[in-house]
Chain A
Amino acid sequence: MNKPIQSRPIWPEHRFRAMGSAMGLWVEADQPLAREAFGQVEALFAANERVLSRFDPASELSRLNARSGQWVNISPLLRDVLDRALALAKETSGLFDPTILPALEAAGYTHSFELIASGNIVWAPESPTYPKGRWAEIKLDGQHVYLPQDVRIDLGGIAKGYTAGQAVDWLRRLGPCLVDAGGDVVAGEAPTGMPGWPVSLTAPWTGDDVTEQHLLMVWLRQASIATSGIDWRRWLHRGRSAHHLIDPRSGRPAETDVLTATVLDADPARAEGWATAALVLGMEGGMATLSDGDMAGALVDAYRQIRLNPPMQMHIMWQSA
């Protein structure tokens, strides 16, 4: 890979792990102010994880999931994220479905991926059947929610992007900022003298050459770019290969020719939700659906074919050969 033409400025930066993923924060501000703000954002991610994580039995979400079939009072945070998830389910015609938790558990995703990857998991007995499409039966009334019997929620599909959006709103008080929440990247204003934050899309394939390969680059400004993929979170479950992106139509890990689906949108949760939906639909269906909705998308398949639609091409400032 040729060296970049221009070296970029060094901005205050902070790295940490949260929600099972690597996080990155950048802000164009003085170091002391940036350091303080970074600490507050890291605390924000930890606080949201205590509410939204299905892996924590004490989280508010876990307690809600244990009380299906009755009205439950919930916090403004959980209410807002759930509301966004249901709106995305409606917008994607159920291809993004927050009620897939039973299907995830049936596929073996019963614990955090870090634990699964460690190999120290004893698989639970087969989970009950996933109740397909019942997201539409969930009722929200003010701060109260009703989950139909046996319906349980997973918010892993949008929790990172949602929290990253909150983090940008917090950091932007100091200046131009960028938040990378496990690959879901949310940008505030552009840094001084630049059209945006330079963010690349990396290739999902690895091989003998494990050096990170950049496929394209965008200037990200006041927008989000999110990637869903089956290239990393994969495991063997009961002798079968499995991954974490469930096709709500089958209730099983999506059988798709897409390795990664990337969507650029003003809203981080929407970018995440549609990236998942596009991956489930496959190269042809996914790209057609994104294009029909005028959503900027890039799909990559196992044959190293990259497909971009015109709305995404408008954002691209560099692309590998």
Chain B
Amino acid sequence: MTNSSTSKPQKRNTDPLSSGLKAALVIGSLAASVVGARLVALKDATTTITSTKPAVVVYPAPQAQPGMSDTTSGSVPRILPVIPTVIVPAPMPISPITSTRSSR
């Protein structure tokens, strides 16, 4: 990486397999398409990766936490509704003829 104030114009890097590629963070909602997927680099605004091959897209793990806002994208995330889960025992395959229990 070079200092932006003294850097010479960088050659466009057309080789996605270059070992010099830096990881980029994908923030916010992304258009899911094979061609033209856009990566937003946070750390190095001067590095632009263009490629004819589909880039690796990392989707953020869903984290529905009330009150949390995504300042980088400027959008308010959806808060996923909590669906109550009720565990229902499987029905008995057949009704018992009797039961074992302490003597009575």
Chain A interface (Cβ within 8 Å of chain B)?
1-8, 11, 20-22, 24, 26, 160, 178, 180, 182-185, 197-202, 204, 212, 214, 217, 225-233, 260, 262, 317-318, 320-321
**Closest Cβ neighbor of A185 among chain B residues:** B100
Q: Does the CB pair A20–B100 fall under 8 Å?
A: no
Tell me whether B101 is interfacial, beta carbon within 8 Å: yes
Stretch at the interface among B8-16, B71-79, B89-97: B89-97
| B102 and A5 contact, CB distance less than 8 A | no
A178 touches B102 (CB 8 A): no
B92 touches A182 (CB 8 A): no
**One of B91, B94, B97, B100 near A262 (C-beta < 8 A):** B100
- Residue pair B103, A183 in contact (C-beta under 8 Å): yes
Known: A3-B91, A320-B89. A199 touches B96 (CB 8 A): yes
Instruction: Show 24 residue pairs from A and B whose CB-CB distance is below 8 angstroms, ordered by the A residue.
Output: A1-B89, A2-B90, A4-B94, A5-B91, A6-B94, A8-B94, A8-B97, A21-B103, A21-B104, A22-B104, A24-B98, A26-B97, A160-B103, A183-B101, A183-B103, A184-B100, A199-B100, A200-B96, A202-B99, A202-B100, A233-B104, A260-B102, A321-B88, A321-B89
Nearest CB in chain B to that of A24: its residue: B98
Residue positions of B touching A, CB distance < 8 A: 87-104
Q: A2-B89, A4-B92 are in contact. Are A212 and B102 (CB under 8 A)?
A: no
16 new A-B pairs (CB below 8 Å) besides A4-B92, A318-B93? A2-B91, A4-B93, A5-B91, A6-B93, A8-B95, A21-B104, A160-B103, A183-B99, A183-B101, A183-B103, A198-B94, A199-B96, A204-B102, A214-B99, A227-B100, A262-B100
Q: How far is the CA of A71 from the CA of B102 in the complex (A)?
A: 35
Cα distance, A178 to B92, chains bound together (Å): 20
Of all chain A residues, the one with the shortest Cβ separation from B101 is A183
- A110 CA / B92 CA spacing, docked (Å): 41
Residues of B within 8 A of A320 (CB): 89
Interface of B is mostly: loop
Bound complex: CA A233 to CA B102 (Å) = 8
Which chain B residues lie closer than 8 Å to A11 at the CB level?
Answer: 97
List, in ascending order, chain A residues with CB within 8 A of B95's CB: 4, 7-8, 198
In the assembled complex, the Cα of A183 lies from the Cα of B103 at a distance in Å of: 6
Do the beta carbons of A217 and B89 come within 8 Å of each other? Answer: no
Smallest CB–CB gap between B91 and chain A, Å? 4
Contacts of A198 in B (CB 8 A): 94-97
A5 touching B97 in the complex, CB below 8 Å, given contacts A21-B104, A182-B104: no
Quick one: which of B91, B99, B103 contacts A20, CB cutoff 8 A?
B103
Contacts of B87 in A (CB 8 A): 321
Which residues of B are found within 8 Å of A262, using beta-carbon distances? Answer: 100
Contact check, B92 vs A214: say whether CB atoms are below 8 A apart: yes
| CA of A180 to CA of B87, assembled, Å | 32
Residues of A within 8 A of B88 (CB): 2, 321
Give the residue of B92, B94, B97, B101 whose beta carbon is less than 8 angstroms from that of A227.
Answer: B101
CB–CB A197/B99 < 8 A: no
Is there an interface contact between A183 and B93, defined as CB atoms closer than 8 Å? no
Closest CB in chain A relative to B28 CB, distance in Å: 41
Top 6 A-B pairs, shortest CB-CB distance: A229-B102, A2-B91, A200-B96, A321-B89, A182-B103, A183-B101
User: From A318, which residue of chain B is reached at the shortest CB distance?
Assistant: B92
CB distance from B63 to the nearest CB of A (A): 29
Are A232 and B104 CB-contacts (below 8 A) given A2-B88, A24-B98?
Answer: yes
Bound CA–CA A182/B98 (angstroms): 10
A227 and B102: CB pair below 8 A?
Answer: yes
Complex alpha-carbon distance, A321 and B104, angstroms: 26
**Do the beta carbons of A204 and B101 come within 8 Å of each other?**
yes
In the complex, how many angstroms separate the beta carbon of B29 from the nearest chain A beta carbon?
A: 39
